[in-house]
Structure 1
Amino acid sequence: MKKRIYAALLALTLLSTPALVAVAAPDGAAETGSAPEARNLEIETPRGSAYTGKLEAEDADGDLSGFEITTPPIKGTVALQPDGSFVYTPLVGRRGRDYFGYKAVDARGNLSQEATVIIRLTKPEV
């Protein structure tokens, strides 16, 4: 059986008119904006002494609304206020380094990447 090969010439003419299209978000939809950027911090406090500080973040949209602890400390406790101020209290007899993780959140619910607060527990002065 012989193979047959066919050739064809196809000519297309496209008719179009340039158009401007506007797209509107449905009711209730909001822009997500950009997420805040939380900063890593390093602090030190004498063993057995509480440290009062403030978490740091920047938000390009200017709608930073709060912070949340994502990884709790192991050698102490942290009490966090909505404005980012915190009190870290080391547990009795703990020494060395501790850390906790946090994220910043904006009014649209965007979360930053996790930042870390590193705590160095120093020898108390006598």
Structure 2
Amino acid sequence: MVKCSNGNASCRSFKIIGSGIGFKGGRYVAENRNIAAHRAGSKLFQKIMKDPEFSKYKNKTTIKFILSETTKGSPKKNVAYEVKQMKLDKPLEFKRGDVTIVVKYKYVVNKLVNQSDAEVMNM
């Protein structure tokens, strides 16, 4: 059984099976699909910023992606999402131990109403 970072044994695992930037993969463990979608969406924008392979998408502010459940015994349902990156007016700073973490962006993730969107179907 998959365990969350908080020790909860009722977590589920998900992966990206298609995205607007061409990325597939990853493993996102969360208690529900929405939390996993938020993590996956923010990771897609991190890929754009840090990975030279995806740097050509640096001007994108929204990305569509398909998240599939990979938990053993689950129905393996696929759901399409759209994540939007918004720059914060004032960056958030907080300390974790000796490290200062600066958060510059907010990510808003929405489930797509039209799961058969043309862009989603081509992923």
Larger Rg: 1
Report the TM-score when normalising by structure 1.
0.34
Greater relative contact order (Cα 8 A, min sep 6): structure 1 or 2? 1
TM-score by length of 2: 0.34
